[in-house]
Amino acid sequence: MKLLDRYLSRELILPFLVGLTGFVLIEITTLLFNDLLEVMLQLKVPLSLIFQFIGYKLPMFVVLALPIATLFGVSLGINRLAREGEINAMRMSGVSLRRMLMPLLGIGLLISIGDYWLNEKVAPPANAKANETVQQMFKRSELPQIQADTFFHVGQHWFYVGKVKKVAENKYLLERVMIYETKWDDFPILTVAKHAVTDGIRWVFTDYRRIELAGNRENLTTSWPGEPGRLTLKVDLNRIIAPNSKPEEMSSAELMKQIQQFQKANIRVDQLVMNYHFKFSIPAGCLVVVLVSMPFAIHYARHGSFMGILLSILLFFFYYNTYFLAKMLGENGYLPPVLAAWSHNIIFSLIGLVMLWREE
């Protein structure tokens, strides 16, 4: 049986590598012509920065390409064996489809582990470097950089900060600050200040005005307290004042930490939860596509090698369109975040199990 495992595994190598290379090249070409070419021409960005950006994005491209490469490897490899009667010969000698599936699932598991490692350890810092490279592109251009003022929301407080200056570790000097505090059982309060100092949790205002909206009256109550005003929040705002890391730049542990911080501040975290589960569902797809592509490849093998290629393309099309549809529904609140992240794997796993049962 070890000979059988090695034989089946070898059949996947060439189509797997072709699928991996092809999908990565498609991703690079799409990025180049849809995004980078216009930037390069308008901002006169040197080619070295373009290649540097593509190099940093490469790990993420590989993360997305590995499930598709696995799909191509299994579909084309098993299709060839079935067309030439080798699958039937194995079955006639007493080897079941489930037994043939075992080494393929083993390979899928190894690829999933590698994909998870890339997505967890290599891709996040590489994506951060890619975004830094984009900033370098714009800094090199002759176009002026327009930086909008900062707005953000924490719990019952809405903030506007005109200018932020870091004066020490965990200490920021703020200018032109506005805080709009909403209350469930009372009318909102508006605080405006020319200056404020914060460590992310405690805010101290100077030269400030507090405005309390007094019911339906048009007159506002204002006060100018003599001593500095203070506000204490239940969440560390250092990550909010500083530029936020995107989910693609964070490991699953870092993303979970941010989710917990935002939950303490009563901030919706549906999209963050969905992105957290994508950290696991995308690598798991390498295992799922093995389950679904093997029975399909055997079932349609009698239609020739062209059908094997077409089948791989169709499975790729439906798998990733299901992924993008579920992601879009999750982002717009039509699906729970966990279901949105895992639905494409669940659907294709069920299809694979039904097809395997029918072929058996």
Question: What is this structure's pTM?
Answer: 0.69
Q: How many CB atoms lie within 10 A of CB 226?
A: 4
Average pLDDT estimate for 238-251 = 62
Q: Is a pLDDT exceeding 50 seen at residue 148?
A: no
Average pLDDT estimate for 183-206 = 73
Residue 193: strand, helix, or coil? strand
pLDDT at position 213 is 64
pLDDT at position 149 is 58
Average pLDDT estimate for 206-230 = 59
Contacts of 174 (CB under 8 A, 6+ apart): 161, 162, 163, 164, 165, 195, 196, 197, 198
Average pLDDT estimate for 58-65 = 94
pLDDT at position 193 is 81
Return the structure tokens found at 2. 């070890």
pLDDT at position 236 is 45
Bridge-partner residues for 161, per DSSP? Answer: 150, 177
What are the b/e assignments for 136-159, b being 16+ CB within 10 Å?
ebeeeeeeeeeeeeeeeebeebbb
More confident residue, 41 or 215: 41
pLDDT in tens, 284-298: 999 999 999 888 888
pLDDT at position 201 is 62
Asked if residues 233 and 201 have their Cβ atoms less than 8 Å apart, the reply is yes
Average pLDDT estimate for 83-109 = 84
Asked if residues 176 and 161 have their Cβ atoms less than 8 Å apart, the reply is yes
Average pLDDT estimate for 247-270 = 84
Average pLDDT estimate for 240-262 = 76
Reading phi first (left if > 0) and then psi (alpha if -120 to 50, else beta), residue 182 is in beta
C-alpha–C-alpha distance, residues 27 and 281, integer Å: 20
